[in-house]
Each structure stands twice: as structure tokens, then as C-alpha cells.
Chains A and B, each alone.
Chain A
Amino acid sequence: MSELHFSDEQLNAFIDHELSQAEQLEILQAAADSDPLRSRLVQLQYLKALTRAAYPLTGQPSRQQTRAWTGGGFTRYLAAAAMGALSLFAVHSMTDQAPSGATSAQKPLASLDRMQQAQTRVVFHISSDNRDDAALLLDQVELVLKEHRASGRPLRLEVVANNQGLRLMQRNRSPFPERIRQLSETYPNLVFAACGSTLERLTKATGEQIQILPEAVIIRSGVSYITRRQQTGWAYIKV
């Protein structure tokens, strides 16, 4: 069940070292218990390596190329340093030691953060089942996606639904299932995420299995997910 909590988007972000410490740990722990999740991770990583091999950095003026390469080397060095510190941190937190490793881990992670800032990342939140709110949310999401695609700026956009807002992503109850399908199809950088705790609560209260739209992934808890997003520099917009 645990592998269902992570979208390919998240797993790719994991492979690209774009996640926070907590998220990295969460995925690592889940992968330790799950064969399907491990194989999916390897698949994605393999795909990435293939893509890189197929599109080497060619066709640029030689001067720029050397610059790009040194830049790449430096970036790789930073990423390696961050990963090293991260694994140190992971060992520390797993062995329940004093968080002395945390301070040394924060420095390289800060530079990782700076590298991520070239990409705009925003999480939208809906917690009401008001139809107008849902319509406004989808309008805004589409506007932001369109604008970034037109200007060629990289963007990651996520919509998190919890409490009454879950209705937006419920099969047979969502007011705009077709629109969600179209948006997901048009924009691969868009993620719909439904709160697992709300789902559990609703299932218990109504006694029937609640179905989520196929475009949506299920996350453990909407609130803690949003908190982590904000901690790692995502913009937040509540509808």
C-alpha cells in the first residue's frame, strides 16, 4: 500500500535530490519495505540515465561547453556533499542520537535549496466542497500552468485536497472530473493529491469505500504534506 503514497513526480524529485530530508527519509523507509516501490525507483533512474546518454551536452560553442561542464562538476560536487551530509543525518536520526549532525547537514542542504529556486514550485490547497471555490481553483491552476508554459519557465504545481475539499477528487462526486482529466493530460507537471487521513475518516464514517479519481494520488496527510512543502520553499495558495 505504501508505494501508492508516492507519485512518479515525487519519485523523480527524489532521484534528482530535490526533496527535503524528511521526504527523502520517508521514501527511503517506504522503499525498504516495498519491492514494487524499489523497482519503480530503479526504473525511473534507469530511464533518466538513458535520457542523459541520448542527449549529451553537444552543439554549444566550445567555450560555453567547458563552462557548462565545470558548472556541472560543481553542481555534482554540491549534490554529492548534500547527499553525504544527508546520509550522515539519516544515520544520526535513525540511531536517535543528539541532533549534532543536523547543523553540519544544513549547510550543504542550503546550497541545494538555492539550486532549486530556479524552478517555481507552488501548492494549492482546497478544503471546502463549495463548487465556486473548486471552479476558481481550477481556473487559477490552469492560468499559472499556461503562463509558465508560454514563458518557458519550469514549474511544479500541486493541488492538495482535504476535509470537505476531497470532494473535488472523489469519483462520481467531483463537480469537474473531465476538467481534471484534461488538465492532467495536458500538464505532466501538475499533481492532484488527496488526503489519506480524510479518506480514512470518510470511509469509517460512511461505511463505504470511497473512490478517488484515477488522476489523483493519495498522500498520508494533507496538512503535514503542505507543511513540508512550505518548509522547503514552496509557495502556498489556499482557495
Chain B
Amino acid sequence: MKTINHSLMALLLFFGLFTGQTLLAAEGAPHKVVIQVSTDDPRTQTIALNNAVNLQKALGQDNVQIEIIAYGPGLGMLTSNSKEGQRITSLAMQDIQFSACGNTMIGIEKKTGKMPALLEGVTVVEAGVLRLMELQERGYAYVRP
């Protein structure tokens, strides 16, 4: 009975450590980068996506946490009108987080009467700038292509 208890404990401990570590790895990747897209220039938008992909390639997908924030004239990149739509949806499935500025979306709705439709896999944040500040305070490196 005692040995069963012991091995059970060892097993639990092992799994506990294992899951704990994988959780830590996801939460605290050694590198954290936030990329700002605030322009409707398609070249800049493509470069932003390339930057993200190249960072993942260079550092390894598990070693870098990447978030791309689009706001102002840059928001179009994350809507159904985006020329990079397919690419963004597939990148969103590969651990790159896309954040759309809720404030910009409300502005567009006021102007056009219609809330812009976001691509699959894109999350909405309250305000792009506030998110940018918050992430930098949490140690994210800032990239503005």
C-alpha cells in the first residue's frame, strides 16, 4: 500500500512538474515582441507579418511570444477587406496574436454605420495604444515596421 502511495505521489509530482513547466513556457516565453501597425500602406503591413514570421523562425515558435496590434488606418489589415486575410488567419493558428483596436472599430462604425468584420482568429482589445503601453510595461520589445 505504501509503495503504491509513493509511486502515485511520484507520478503526480512528475506530471505536476511537467504540466507546470509547459504552462510556464507558454506564459513566459523568453522573448516577447509587440508589433505596431498603424498605417494603411500595404507594404508596411506585409513587412510587419514578415517580421513576425522571421522572428518565430529565428528564435523558435516556443521561445517567442508575438502580438501584432492594428489601429487607426492600420486596422484594415485585420478586417475582411484585408489583402493578407488568408495569411493572417493561418498565422493566428501558429501562436501569433492579432489584436484589433476596439476604439478604432467604434470610430469606423460611427462614420460608416457598420462595424467592420474582423478576420478569423483576431481578438479585439479596448484600445490599441493602451495595449501597446501595457505590453511594454510587461517587458515586450517594441517593433514598428
Chain A residues near B (Cβ < 8 Å): 117, 120, 122, 132, 136, 140, 143-144, 147, 233, 235-239
Contacts and interface: CB of A to CB of B under 8 A. Distances in A.
B36 A120 contact: no
Interface residues of B, number: 14
26 contacts: A117-B137, A120-B133, A120-B137, A132-B73, A136-B38, A136-B72, A136-B73, A140-B129, A143-B103, A143-B129, A144-B127, A144-B129, A144-B130, A147-B127, A147-B130, A233-B137, A235-B133, A235-B136, A235-B137, A235-B142, A236-B136, A237-B129, A237-B132, A238-B36, A238-B144, A239-B38
Contacts of B38: 136, 239
A117 B138 CA distance: 10
B142 A236 contact: yes
| Across the A-B interface, the 5 shortest Cβ-Cβ residue pairs | A235-B136, A235-B133, A140-B129, A136-B72, A238-B144
A236 B141 CA distance: 10
Contacts of A147: 127, 130
Contacts of A140: 72, 129
Contacts of B36: 237-238
A136 B72 CA distance: 7
Interface string B113-145: 000000000000001011011001100001010
A136 B130 CA distance: 14
A235 B127 CA distance: 15
Given A238-B36, A238-B144, A122 B103 contact: no
A144 B133 contact: yes
Nearest to B128: A140
Contacts of B73: 132, 136
Contacts of A237: 36, 129, 132-133, 142
A143 B133 CA distance: 13
A239 B130 CA distance: 14
A235 B132 contact: yes
B75 to A, nearest CB: 12
A227 to B, nearest CB: 13
A120 B73 CA distance: 26
Interface string B61-100: 0000000000011000000000000000000000000000
Contacts of A136: 38, 72-73
Contact of B127 (A117, A143, A238): A143
Nearest to A140: B129
A188 B142 CA distance: 27
Contacts of A122: 133
Nearest to B133: A235
Nearest to A125: B144
Contacts of B127: 143-144, 147
B35 to A, nearest CB: 12
Nearest to A238: B144
Contacts of B103: 143
Nearest to A141: B129
